[in-house]
Amino acid sequence: MDAQSQDWNDLRLFLAVARAGTLSGAARALGINHSTVFRRITAFEERLGVRLFDRLPNGYVLTAPGEEMRDTVARIEEEIAAMALKVTGQDQRPSGTIRITATDMLAVGVLPPHLAAFRAEWPRIELELLVSDSVLDLARREADVALRVGNPVQDTLVGRRVGRLAFAVYASAELLAREAGDPERGDWVGYGSSHGPLSRNLARWWPGMRQVCRTNSITAAVAAAKAGMGLAALPCAIADREADLIRLAPFPEDFGLDLWLLTHEDLRQTARIRAFLDFITGALAAEADLLEGRAPRRGTGGTAAAEG
């Protein structure tokens, strides 16, 4: 049986193993189990009569024929994705599904009320929210729309700056009852090497800060701060809604992260995508005071006198 008669699913499986270098990595990417990948890739090689991978202790390494097939299949995948984008972009019906990707911070702390309001206005459009700190590839249709911090440079994407997240120092009433809440000497919930710009500025502003807990998740930092584990640098739009948190102090310098709403250029005129982009842009613009830390506190914790 020659390569032309192979099922596209076999080629996708082959490409996943080639990219991941392991069966387990390919299984995670495809949402199937390890044994299924092993069985199908072995059967695929047998049908072709060609060994595509060398099985090494540290993973699967492409043979010369495998490398040639990888390049060909990758080009086919790109062409299929491009064709799907163009076809989808011609769909002018305000219905169907929109796949949205965002980090946990935005998916939990910012988007939910706006997604609910959008669904109320556009009941024929279904939403799928993909929560991931990794950057999903919009060109390969891993998602249709992304709400991201920062504007990635990618020629095929179009985007709008839809807001700016301001940050401040927050603490729980419980923590402030047992210590002064001094940013220079107090316990902190930090971010380690993650959230680079924020971490670097915190270390520069308060070089004596003592990080008793580190996390790569803003959402986890909110929970830890509410539990009284330490001070935390948090987005005002999220922390100001928490009754258990007190805004202790502003940052010594202006600091904020731009929010960008992105989609692929071939999708932006699709009716459901255009409706979503316009709706979320307007909703976040209406929340500019909250996002930038100027809105009145919604929680009962208040603002500490230290902020002034």
* CATH code of the domain containing 70: 1.10.10.10
Same domain assignment for residues 96 and 186:
yes
Confidence of residue 299 (pLDDT cuts 50, 70, 90): very low
Dihedral sign, Cα of residue 268, residue 269, residue 275, residue 278: positive
Q: Is residue 71 located within the same domain as residue 109?
A: no
Q: Tens digit of pLDDT for each residue in 30-80?
A: 888 888 899 999 999 999 989 999 999 889 999 999 999 998 888 888 777
CA distances (Å), origin 180, targets 279, 295, 306: 43, 26, 10
C-alpha span between 7 and 102 (Å, rounded)? 33
Inter-residue contact 29 to 77 (CB < 8 Å)? no
- Record the tokens describing residue 181, joined without a space: 């809440």
Listed in sequence order, the residues at least 6 apart from 164 whose beta carbon sits closer than 8 Å to its beta carbon are: 256, 257, 258, 259, 291, 292
What does the pLDDT look like over 256-265, one tens digit per residue? Answer: 989 999 888 7
Q: Are residues 180 and 49 in the same domain?
A: no
Q: Domain range holding 300? A: 92-308
Judgement on whether residues 14 and 58 belong to the same structural domain of the protein: yes
pLDDT at 3: 44
Q: Distance between CA 131 and CA 93 in Å, rounded? A: 26
Q: Same domain, yes or no, for 56 and 103?
A: no
Cross-strand partners of 168: 234, 250
Domain count, the chain: 2
Q: Do both 255 and 176 map to the same domain?
A: yes
Select from 35, 62, 89 the last residue of a domain: 89
* pLDDT tens, position by position, 141-180: 677 898 988 766 555 567 888 999 999 999 999 999 888 7
43 plus 111 within the same structural domain: no
CA distance 62 to 71: 11
Q: Are residues 203 and 282 in the same domain?
A: yes
pTM: 0.64
Copy the structure tokens of residue 128.
């799928």
> Which domain-ending residue is among 39, 68, 89?
89
- For residues 190 and 68, membership in a common domain is answered with no
For the ranges 74-88, 94-108, 153-167, 280-294, the one whose mean pLDDT is highest: 280-294
Domain boundary among 89, 104, 134: 89
